[in-house]
Amino acid sequence: MTTKNRETSETPNQQGDAADTSLVPRDPLTGDAILPRTQPGYYAGFTTLSQQSFWDAATRKVIDKRVNHQPPIRFFNPTEASFWTTVFDHLIPQTDRTPDHRIAILPTLDERLYHDRTNGYRYEDMPHDREAYHLAFDAINQEARSEYRADFISLPYLQQDLVLKTLHDGEPKAAPEIWKQMSVHRFWLLLIGDAIDIYYAHPWAWDEIGFGGPAYPRAYIRLERGEPEPWEAEEQRYDWVAPDHAVSGEIEATHEFYLESVQHRSHRRKHERLP
């Protein structure tokens, strides 16, 4: 089968925070902790990086820079840097990855803000991206202090998750003067959008989700029935549920909205969802 002879080994790593089983995913049937892997996901052993010599030179260069050359931290100060690193541990948790196979998010965000690169627009009810991150640092800490009497960074994981969930739900209780200056849901989309842009740009994340990655000049040839290319892998599913001490595992699909301006509104304003 296509998955044999792959380079990555699947030996679980038992070090690091894997020791705390309340923070790693579990097998839903047995309840056992699923030990961290070098490559979580259903495509064990699939590695896009092993295909690099089939990619064009410009693409190879961009990916090599991303994987092997992390930019220095220049925009955030050390306190902010560890604060946002912690936040990203909740937005894209990676305790199912062995520590040496985690994807750093902060340096790429820092580089974007350092160079003041944006998406090319700013919502009227939002400050500039740089300012938004500064304001949110204060707002999230205020939320943590008002609910749990401590700075965000010193809270246990579950309470940190709960603090961030208030932003996800669009209903933070503290720091109203900050949230008056910027829309909660627009900030949430900015934050999680940054996390997604960075994590899912990494070849390890492509391996995790079974995305084939760059395909010029080689091409994709099997277009139908979701079949893998000869160099891609078959899916091998396993069941897992989110760790006990996390609240981000639940998904609520909302169907009653039709307009972009209402799809992110909070529960309280549910009645406004129908146009």
Partner 1 sequence: MKKPLLGSFEPPAAGNKHMLGALQHIHLPMRRFKELEEVDYVIVGVGSAGGVLLQRLARAGFNVVGLEAGPFWDTERDWVSDEAGSHDLYWEDPRVTGGTDPLAFGSNNCGKGVGGGSVHWAAFTPRLHPSDFEIYTRDGVGTDWPITYEEIRPYYEQLELEMPVAGPAYYPWGHPHGYPYGPHPMGGVGNALIRGCSALDIPVCIGGPVAILSGSHGDRPHCIYRGFCIQGCKVGAKASTLITHVPDALHSGAEIRDNSMAARVSLGKDGRVNGVHYFDKDGREHFQRAKSVILCGYAIETPRLLLNSACPGFELGLANSSDTVGRYLMAQAGTVVLGRFDQLVRMYKAPPAHALTEEFYETDPKNDFARGFAIQTVGPLPAAFGKQMVSAKKAWGWGLRREMMDYNHWASFGLLGEILPWPENRVTLADEKDRFGLPIAHVSFNLHENDKRLIKAATQKTIEVMHAAGATEVVHEARYAHLVGAARMGSDPRTSVVDKFGRSHDIANLFICDGSIMPTQGSANPGLTIQALAARTADYLISQARTIFTGSKRDMTTPPIRRELAPPDTWGKGVPRFTHLLSAGR
- CB of 174: closest distance to partner 1 in angstroms? 20
Nearer to partner 1, 42 or 114 (CB): 42
Q: For the range 26-34, what are the long-range contacts, defined as Cβ-Cβ under 8 Å and sequence gap of 24 or more?
A: 26/240, 26/241, 26/243, 26/244, 27/239, 27/240, 27/241, 28/239, 28/240, 28/241, 29/239, 34/96, 34/238, 34/240
Please check whether residue 103 is in contact with residue 199, taking contact to mean a CB–CB distance below 8 angstroms: yes
**Does the N-terminal peptide bond of residue 25 adopt cis geometry, omega within 30 degrees of 0?**
no
**Does the N-terminal peptide bond of residue 217 adopt cis geometry, omega within 30 degrees of 0?**
yes
Nearer to partner 1, 79 or 249 (CB): 249
- CB of 216: closest distance to partner 1 in angstroms? 5
- CB of 164: closest distance to partner 1 in angstroms? 8
Nearer to partner 1, 65 or 79 (CB): 65
Considering Cα of 64, then 67, then 73, then 75, what sign does the dihedral take?
positive
Nearer to partner 1, 57 or 149 (CB): 57
- How far is Cα 240 from Cα 93, in angstroms, rounded to an integer? 14
- CB of 18: closest distance to partner 1 in angstroms? 16
- With 0-12 / 13-18 / 19 or more C-beta atoms within 10 angstroms meaning exposed / middle / buried, residue 152 is buried
Nearer to partner 1, 141 or 214 (CB): 214
- CB of 124: closest distance to partner 1 in angstroms? 3
Nearer to partner 1, 14 or 263 (CB): 263
- CB of 129: closest distance to partner 1 in angstroms? 10
